Amino acid sequence: MNKTIQLQDLGNKDYKATWEYQEQLFKEIVDLKIRNRREELDLATPNYFLFVEHPHVYTLGKSGDLSNLLLSEKQLAAKGATFYKINRGGDITYHGPGQIVGYPILDLENFFTDIHKYLRFLEEAIILTLQEYGISSGRSEGETGVWLGVGTPFARKICAMGVRASRWVTMHGFALNVNADLGYFDNIIPCGIRGKAVTSLNVELGVEKVNEEEVKQKVLKHFNELFEAKFV
């Protein structure tokens, strides 16, 4: 079991280029697993964790409904945004500046073979991070991600999640709103859920800008503890 995770911060990077890079790493792990099985080898499979910030983009999961995108192609272009249908779970979401996106590309056989547990651990890493800022958050039953004010008329989502897994290898991940322009969420029905608001950490704290590097370090600390992993 290799619990070492190679950390890469890609900075601000185009969504499609990042998706292709994820696919490359994902395939590398899957191919090695197939080779191990075919040749009866025991070569250690690598794990990766990518941090990235995307230019304005909307992505629709494989089970999503295109009608949840409220913009035409021309309106997308006017807002400087792009749109992709992708191979993760979940419906539609937005990525953009001021949002911390994390893509763990893990061989779960190095940790545990339980997708439900994996998703709950991703949520928990964010919940524990927000706790450090004095913000109480949690899960909303039947709705993946991290929410504030669950069970109240003021429920609002701060972190969206959507993953893909094959042969126990994961890709895609989470998007935490830290200093996000929430106006871009008005152009979609986020995650296909009507009547629920979206929020950002800076809004909840009542400040203009939160230190994103500090948030990343806190997320990594909690991820590391939950997965009993080591980042390099």
Q: Are 197 and 113 in contact (CB under 8 A)?
A: no
pLDDT at 93: 85
pLDDT at 85: 87
pLDDT at 64: 81
Q: Residue 51 and residue 65: Cα distance in Å, rounded? A: 27
pLDDT at 228: 97
Beta bridge partners of 57: 82, 95
pLDDT at 37: 94
- Where the chain has pLDDT below 70, the residues are 190-195
Three-state secondary structure call for residue 63: coil
Beta bridge partners of 221: none
Q: Which of 50, 60, 105, 191 is catalytic?
A: 191
pLDDT tens track for 182-204: 999 888 876 555 557 899 999 99
Pick out the residues of the known binding site: 88-95, 160-162, 173-175
Verify whether residue 191 is a known catalytic residue.
yes
Instruction: Give the C-alpha distances (Å, rounded to integers) separating 115 from 105, 106, 161, 166, 194.
Output: 13, 12, 13, 10, 26
